[in-house]
Copies of this chain bind each other. A is one copy, B any other.
Amino acid sequence: MDTAEFRRRGKEMVDYVADYLDNVEQRPVYPDVEPGYLRSLIPAEAPLEPEKYDDIMTDVERVIMPGVTHWHSPYFYAYFAAASSYPAMLADMLSTAIGCIGFSWAASPACTELETVMLDWLGKMLNLPEDFIAGTEGQGGGVIQGTASEATLVSMLAARCKAVRRIQASNPEKSEADILSKLVAYTSEQAHSSVERASLIAGVMMKKVPADNNYGVEGAMLKRMLEQDKADGLIPFYFCATLGTTPSCAFDHTTELGPICNEEQMWMHIDAAYAGSAFICPEFRPLLNGVEFADSFNFNPHKWLLVNFDCSTMWVKKRESIIGAFKMEPLYLKHENQESGLITDYRHWQIPLGRRFRSLKMWFVFRMYGLQGLQDHIRKQVDLAKEFESLVRADSRFEICAKVVMGLVCFRLKGSNGLSELLLKRITKSREIHLVPCQLSTRFVLRFAICARSTESRHIQHAWKHITKLTSEMLEYRH
C-alpha cells in the first residue's frame, strides 16, 4: 500500500469509524457467538500473496464485528468506562505516524518532555501537592503507565527495594533473602485483584485488611494488623490504598491511613484508577485528601477522562526511589545529556522498555475540552448514575447496596443471591444491555456503571425498563 492508497483508505477508515460510533447503539452490545466462533471463519494460514483491501473491510463486518463486545455502546454498563473521544483518536493517529519509541530522552525528546509537562498539567487540575509536580526543579513528577496494574507493581517494587536498603543499612548482617521473606504488603480486601497479583510477582507476602461497613479501610484496622505482625517479627513495608474500589467505588480512609504509613516507614500507594478523574471537580476533590501522605498516586485517564486506552497516570514524590529500583545502563541506551538533571529517561520508571508517544492524547484532549469540558463530562455521568439510583430506589423489589458517589450503582433484588444471579443471566442473554456482578460481603450484587460518552438519560430509562421487564417475567415464571 503506497501513500496515495493510504490517503484514500485512511479517509474511508475515518468515515467507517465515525459511522461505527454514531450507530453503535444499533448493534447488540454483547455478542451472540460461541467460544471458538472466529477460527472457522478465516483461513488456517496467512496468504502467500497480498489480498485486496476491500476484502479485509468486508471481513471486518463478517468476522470481527459479530464477536465484539461494544464498550462504546450507550447500553454498555459493565466493568468501568473505557475512555473514548475524537481528539484522543486524532492524537493517536499522529502518535502512530511519528512512531518513536520513547524509552529515553534522546530517543525522542518531545515524547519525554510533553509527557512530563502533561503530567504536571493534570497534577495541577487535581490540585496534587507540590511534591508530585516535576516543574523544572522538583524531585517528584509523573509518568504514563500502561495500566493501573503496572503502576501498583512499580510502586511495590520501589517500596521493596527501599525497605531492603533501609533494613540492611541498620542490620548489615541480614541477607536480602531473609528480609524479603519477612516483608508484608497490605491492601483492602476490596482492592483490585491486580494488587495481590503484584505481590505474587514481587514475591512478597500480602495481607488483606478488612473493610468497614462502607467497604473502606479505616486506620484503626490497619494499625491493629501492623502491631500484630510486627510482634510476630514481620516487616510491614507497603500499603496500597484504594479510592474508588472496583466492586462498589468505596473509599479507604487515607487521611487516617497516611500518617500511620508515614510513621511506620511504609510506602503508601494510592490507586484511584476509576475515581481519580473525578477529582478534577472541586466537589469531589475532598475525597483525595490524604494524598499528601502518599509516596505514589495513580489513576486512569483512559477510564473516565476521555483519553483512550492506554493512559494510566502515576505520580511519585521522589523519582529517585522509583528509578533506583531497577536501573540498567547498557551503552546502546546511553546518550550525551543523560546526567543533566533536566532529563528524564522514562524507561527507568516502568516495566517495559519501549513506549509510545501517549502524552499527545492528553494534550489534544485537554486542549479540545478544556478543564470545564472535562468537568462537564464527569458531572453528566454522575448525574446519570443518580438518575438510575432513583429508579432503583422507587422499585421496592430492589435495594441499593452501596452509596452512589460517582458513576457506579450497585443494586440487587431483595432476597436470596440466586434471584439476582438469575436476573443477571437473563440480562446477559438478552444482549440489550451489558453489566457484570460483584460480591459485597456475602451478597451477589449487580454493578451498573455509566460507561459510554454517548450515554444519555433515554438510555438509562430504557435500561431500567428492560431490567424491570425481565424481573417481572422472571418473578412471574417462578410463581
Contact = CB atoms under 8 A, between A and B. Distances in A.
Interface of A: 1-3, 5-7, 9-11, 13-18, 20-22, 31, 33, 35-39, 42, 44-51, 53, 55-56, 60, 63-72, 79, 82, 84-90, 92-94, 96-101, 105-111, 113-114, 116-117, 120-122, 124-125, 136, 146-150, 153, 157, 160, 175-178, 180-181, 192-194, 196-197, 200-203, 246-247, 302, 308-310, 325-326, 328-333, 335-337, 340, 342-343, 351-354, 356, 360, 363-364, 366-373, 425, 428, 436-439, 444, 447
Contact of A99 (B87, B309, B335, B438): B309
Nearest to A428: B336
20 contacts: A13-B94, A20-B97, A33-B109, A35-B109, A37-B113, A46-B370, A47-B367, A47-B371, A49-B372, A64-B98, A68-B109, A69-B108, A88-B96, A92-B92, A92-B96, A149-B351, A177-B181, A202-B203, A309-B356, A332-B436
Contacts of A369: 50
Contacts of A15: 7
A39 B93 contact: no
A2 B329 CA distance: 46
B368 A332 contact: no
Contacts of A367: 46-47, 50-51, 55-56
Contacts of A44: 120, 124
A10 B45 contact: no
A110 B38 contact: yes
A69 B106 CA distance: 7
A53 B89 CA distance: 13
A145 B340 CA distance: 33
Nearest to A42: B117
Nearest to A108: B69
Given A15-B7, A331-B438, A368-B50, A111 B180 contact: no
A121 B38 CA distance: 14
Given A99-B72, A147-B353, A354-B146, A333 B368 contact: no
Contacts of A124: 44-46
Contacts of A53: 87, 368
Contacts of A9: 86, 90
Contacts of A325: 200
> What's the dominant secondary structure at chain A's contact region?
helix
A110 B326 contact: no
Contacts of A360: 64
Contact of A68 (B45, B108, B125): B108
Contacts of A36: 113, 136, 342
Nearest to A246: B332
Nearest to A10: B14
Contact of A100 (B48, B71, B352): B71
A79 B332 contact: yes
A117 B38 contact: yes
Contact of A352 (B1, B35, B150, B364): B150
A46 B121 contact: yes
Contacts of A7: 14-15, 18
Nearest to A39: B117
Contacts of A351: 149-150, 153, 201, 351
A367 B47 CA distance: 6
A473 to B, nearest CB: 20
